[in-house]
Chains A and B, each alone.
Chain A
């Protein structure tokens, strides 16, 4: 029996505004609870919300970048529920008129371009933070401590259609969305700080059934790793139930990071209706054509556009995807260097392999200003023209990271230039053959492994200045 999983993802993105969504309180990063508060974000009676322009600009930019249609005549709704971290007993959110609808994001899955359809992009406010005393979990807490610093921080919720087919695709989608909000500079996009939080709706159905199975919502996944594991676990759990003809209950389940299982959340409210109604404190939100056009002008190069540009150099989809999700300077350095070397593979390998590795080792986050695309291309060209070995190239790079210098001059000064003069190499080859007669005989008898040993001897006698491939060619000719 073939089973088909279907997944939809809801993501909350915390915007990086200075002030909260509906009041002037600063968005703060502090360990001290309840420092940035006013009557509005504390839900005190009589306080009136006034929306943050920057937040509306940010969500419009995100919705446009995710190919959504923009709701020009939109509004805010109250989503009613009782919970200690929500002091008004309602969250200001959007219901049937969200800022963006019917969008899509391109993702790369393995080497293939896929499209994840987006149902809606809407604006809302964050809740406070609860610390449950006792077990740490709400359903067995002895009391709850509340910090409202986060209450009212602008949140954008992005909801996909139920179109995702695997945990890997879900992870790719989140990575893409994360890169998008970083490139748009509307959020820090740090998962570990909770800037991006996601829930997954998962259902499994028999392939022969033409409709979706019963939907189960999974919460509390804090990393891409837990997203992947939780989805895989839930697909297996539901598949087992279906195969043994048991009923899947529509419910919210909690991902337990330590036990790596999902468990039912025994919520007292159950699936209570949120009783949405339009917020009378917040009149119609009109997004004019002029407003939307101005936002369009400020949209930077998007990750998918970066990939298109990278693909033109001959990179594969996954290589382009990797660079589109690297820092801006790595992306630019690759494009500039590739233009100079016209050698896509070597440039990609040197930058993403050696250079990034060495920078990490040196504890550097950025490139020193003298390490330009010109200098990098000089190293790549020397390697490609067999003037220096790849090992010497790495050595030059190590020094170039520390000091400003000319790669070619460094190669000359440190005797790294390979001897490509065949007559000179021929002499050394002959010497090595003469002094390793026994090994030579064994090679002739078929022990081909030993060729490497002889090539090593040749390079050693030349103090590393001989191009190994030329040396090997000459050696084989002599034998």
Chain B
């Protein structure tokens, strides 16, 4: 079953640049994945309980207690550019 995939829009959402060759390749690959996943919708799961997590685990919650992990200097140490204790990044919009 062939799905309609707008590969340009998917690439845009993923913020990646694709060549025309890439586009063709990924369109084909994505279609195979979608067809595979489509098989799941044919399963009869009426009697199954909803399970969101693959391991069926239940979320652990922690007490609201604070503790220190990184010092300011440690937190900043990998940053290529800092200013007045801030991380500096280039402008994010054109």
Interface positions of A (Cβ within 8 A of B):
17-19, 23-27, 32-39, 42, 50-56, 73, 75, 82-84, 131-132, 138-139, 141-148, 266-268, 272-273, 275, 278, 280, 282-286
Smallest CB-CB separation from B9: which chain A residue?
A: A273
Given the contacts A275-B13, A283-B55, A283-B57, A18 and B88 also touching, CB distance less than 8 Å = no
Contact B88 A53 (CB under 8 A): no
A25 is contacted by which of B55, B57, B66, B91 (Cβ under 8 Å)? B66
B60 interface hit (Cβ, 8 Å) = yes
A38 is contacted by which of B57, B61, B70 (Cβ under 8 Å)? B70
Given the contacts A34-B76, A138-B93, A272-B13, A282 and B59 also touching, CB distance less than 8 Å = yes
Could you mark each residue 20-64 of chain B with 1 if its beta carbon is under 8 Å from any beta carbon of chain A, else 0? 000000000000000000000000000000111111111111111
Report the separation of the CA atoms of residues A17 and B53 in the bound assembly, to the nearest whole angstrom: 27
Chain B hits for A267, CB < 8 A: 93
Total contacting residues, chain B, CB less than 8 A: 39
Contact A73 B89 (CB under 8 A): no
Interface of A is mostly: loop
Contact B93 A38 (CB under 8 A): no
B86 interface hit (Cβ, 8 Å) = yes
Closest beta carbon of chain B to A129's beta carbon, Å:
9
Closest beta carbon of chain B to A283's beta carbon, Å:
4
Smallest CB-CB separation from B78: which chain A residue?
A: A44
Report the separation of the CA atoms of residues A196 and B14 in the bound assembly, to the nearest whole angstrom: 32
A73 is contacted by which of B50, B66, B84, B87 (Cβ under 8 Å)? B50
Smallest CB-CB separation from B90: which chain A residue?
A: A143
14 A/B residue pairs, CB under 8 Å, sorted by A: A18-B64, A19-B65, A34-B87, A53-B61, A54-B63, A55-B64, A139-B93, A145-B84, A145-B86, A146-B86, A147-B85, A266-B93, A268-B93, A283-B52
Contact B59 A146 (CB under 8 A): no
Contact B86 A32 (CB under 8 A): no
Contact B65 A18 (CB under 8 A): yes
Contact A32 B53 (CB under 8 A): no
Chain B hits for A278, CB < 8 A: 52-53
